[in-house]
Amino acid sequence: YLMVVFVALIFDISEPRNDFTRYPSWNTKMYPIWKDGDPRYKESWKGGKVSFNVGNDSPTLTGAKVTFTIDLEFPHIQRVQPNGEVVWAEDGTVNGTKYHASELVYPTQNTEWEAVFPDGIPVKTDKKPNYVFVWKAWGQYWQVADGPSSSLTIDTDGIPLGSYTMDVVIYHYRSKEKFIPLGYASNQFSITDQIPFAVSLDQVNDIVAGDMHFIQNRAIAFTITLHDPSEYLSNADITFNWDFGDESGALITRELTVTHTYISSGSFKPQVVIQAVIPDKACDPPVGTPTKAPGPPTDQGITDANRPMTLISMVVFAKRDADHKPSDDDCVIYRYGSFCTDIEVFEGIEKVEIVQMDTAVMATPKMDKNVLDITVTCQGSLPKEVCSVILDAECLRPIHTACNMVEPSKECQLVLHHFFSDSGVYCINVSMANDVSLAVTSAKFSVNMGSSVSPSGTIIMLWGVLLLVLAVGIVAYSYKCFKSYHCLKEGVVSRGPQLSQAHSCSGASIIWKLLNRQGAVDNCPLLQEKLV
């Protein structure tokens, strides 16, 4: 991004000046003039010294208007109300006098008096002015009644080209028919015949704005901003003649913004020439009286609140007949402006793509995580840094950001790893950058944790399966035992100890005995070796 700064010689000088002289009709009783260094300046404002911030909107194209502004800056213990009144910011004491917050620094005095300017001309405002500003340039005066912020707009017709100084003296209403000077200030401005304008150069994904380094095969926007605060060029026919310095030919347009793409790298010098065809006011139809224009300025020129007075000499133009048709050249004014700069164009990272996305489950001691492997490729120059940003499903809220330096390689292909502990839909932005370029890409994906289990869960599950198999085996074995061997019924076997032993051979007993058996000994034989 490039901004051409307007060459305006603007300086704020708030120190007292001794060259601001009065003119013959000056009312020194109401508007006293204090010399430089007068000790009364120290007491001209309660609570401290008032400073002045003076500026203007030059450079000004000859024939246009120039505006001057002034803002009064009061001591820090005071503040300005929306209506322009100055009050104390807090309770305090100044020179032995106590003041309260929001109390007026200078209470309103008697308003039963006629407000006039220093030259005696009445002030045409409904409200008595708190401040009067007297501006001086070219030996002429302009008088403005206003609040603590004020402005003055004047014409530059007939004024020679060059740099000038505008002086201003500031008065504050203090009592009936009495104003006190707060000080003087000066401000420099310039009048030119060259159209003032600025040019900005901008390219998408430019790493360092304003360094005049750009990327080939990517459009650069050239934008012109005309400096015309008084709208002098509002009715002009303005054309822009561009030469981008790469032998692509000239481009003539009336658009303020054009784009151009450099297809090769190297150094270039783009430039533009502006032409404005301005209607000449001298060709306007005459209205009753001859048209007048200001002549050379004199020392006694005075204006009242921006309204010129008749004390300066005028040059009279001859009145045109109604049927007189001036030529086109007689009715237009041509003004020009030009700009050029040097830029460097480099090969950049042309394109970044996500070519593959793989997910897998990684088991950790505390929890399982999904691993997302993102394969990214690029074209053009190689990157030095890669950054990835994980966002929510709406691609608005960043969740995680990671940036890493890239090792030099012949091919531009990287695999980025990201870990997720929750299922859901996410967005990812991947950017690659080097010293001169930046390229980005994005994608949306989903993560599904599935029904995976941890290693401890797997072990528990295996033990459960083994116990279940063992239990099933025991039941099957006991069932077979119970079905194959029957205790002899009473009356079939002989009486003796075998009967009571046979009765204890239940299924539960068999299972318990089986679990506790040792070797091949049968502790509950259903058959004996001897005959029955």
Among 447, 481, 502, residue at a domain's last position: 447
- What's the CATH number where 233 sits? 2.60.40.10
Could you tell me if 56 and 176 lie in one domain?
yes
Per-residue model confidence (pLDDT) at position 322: 35
Could you tell me if 386 and 429 lie in one domain?
yes
Rounded average pLDDT over 301-316: 35
Could you tell me if 68 and 121 lie in one domain?
yes
Per-residue model confidence (pLDDT) at position 279: 93
Q: Determine how β-strand 51-56 pairs with β-strand 60-61.
A: unpaired
Q: What is the rounded distance in angstroms from the CA atom of residue 355 to the CA atom of residue 377?
A: 7
Q: What is the pLDDT of residues 192-249, one digit of tens each?
A: 999 999 999 999 878 888 899 999 999 999 999 999 999 999 999 999 999 999 999 9
Least confident segment among 124-133, 337-346, 469-478: 469-478
Rounded average pLDDT over 146-164: 95
Among 192, 225, 260, residue at a domain's last position: 192
In a domain, 237, yes or no: yes
* Cβ atoms of residues 215 and 345 within 8 Å: yes
* Cβ atoms of residues 230 and 192 within 8 Å: no
Among 403, 429, 447, residue at a domain's last position: 447
Domain span at 218: 194-283+330-346
Q: Between 404 and 484, whose confidence is greater?
A: 404
Least confident segment among 44-53, 61-70, 152-161, 286-295: 286-295
Could you tell me if 358 and 428 lie in one domain?
yes
How many CB atoms lie under 10 A from the CB of residue 314?
A: 13
Could you tell me if 48 and 67 lie in one domain?
yes
Per-residue model confidence (pLDDT) at position 76: 94
pLDDT at 502 over 90: no
How many CB atoms lie under 10 A from the CB of residue 462?
A: 10
- Cβ-count burial 394-419 (b if 16+ within 10 Å, e if not): ebeeeeeeeeeebeeeeebebebebe
Share of the chain above pLDDT 90, in %: 48
Share of the chain above pLDDT 70, in %: 70
pLDDT at 509 over 70: no
Return the structure tokens found at 70. 């002034």
Q: What is the pLDDT of residues 381-411, one digit of tens each?
A: 889 999 999 999 999 999 999 999 988 777 8
In a domain, 503, yes or no: no
Could you tell me if 123 and 160 lie in one domain?
yes
pLDDT at 309 over 60: no
Per-residue model confidence (pLDDT) at position 67: 98
Could you tell me if 96 and 199 lie in one domain?
no
Could you tell me if 155 and 94 lie in one domain?
yes
Q: Determine how β-strand 97-99 pairs with β-strand 92-94.
A: antiparallel
Q: Between 523 and 434, whose confidence is greater?
A: 434
Per-residue model confidence (pLDDT) at position 5: 38
pLDDT at 173 over 60: yes
CA dihedral 84, 85, 89, 94 (to 10 degrees): 130
Per-residue model confidence (pLDDT) at position 338: 97
Per-residue model confidence (pLDDT) at position 366: 56
Q: What is the rounded distance in angstroms from the CA atom of residue 409 to the CA atom of residue 407?
A: 6
Per-residue model confidence (pLDDT) at position 1: 40
In a domain, 528, yes or no: no
In a domain, 259, yes or no: yes
In a domain, 506, yes or no: no
Rounded average pLDDT over 78-85: 92
Number of domains in the chain: 3
Could you tell me if 336 and 369 lie in one domain?
no
CA distances from 76 to 48, 50, 79, 131 (A): 9, 10, 7, 20
Could you tell me if 81 and 109 lie in one domain?
yes
- What's the CATH number where 379 sits? 2.60.40.150
pLDDT at 296 over 50: no
Per-residue model confidence (pLDDT) at position 91: 94
Per-residue model confidence (pLDDT) at position 275: 98
Q: What is the pLDDT of residues 412-469, one digit of tens each?
A: 888 888 888 888 899 999 999 988 888 899 999 888 865 444 444 444 445 555 555 5
Rounded average pLDDT over 15-28: 62
In a domain, 513, yes or no: no
Q: What is the rounded distance in angstroms from the CA atom of residue 143 to the CA atom of residue 245?
A: 51
* pLDDT bracket for residue 103 (50, 70, 90): very high
CA distances from 9 to 5, 58, 153, 164 (A): 11, 8, 18, 9
Q: Is 138 left (phi over 0), alpha (psi -120 to 50) or beta?
A: left
In a domain, 147, yes or no: yes
Could you tell me if 231 and 365 lie in one domain?
no
Per-residue model confidence (pLDDT) at position 478: 60
Task: Provide the whole-model pTM.
Answer: 0.65
* pLDDT bracket for residue 306 (50, 70, 90): very low
Per-residue model confidence (pLDDT) at position 111: 66
| Per-chain mean pLDDT for the chain | 78
Per-residue model confidence (pLDDT) at position 299: 35
In a domain, 7, yes or no: no
Least confident segment among 228-242, 302-316, 366-380: 302-316
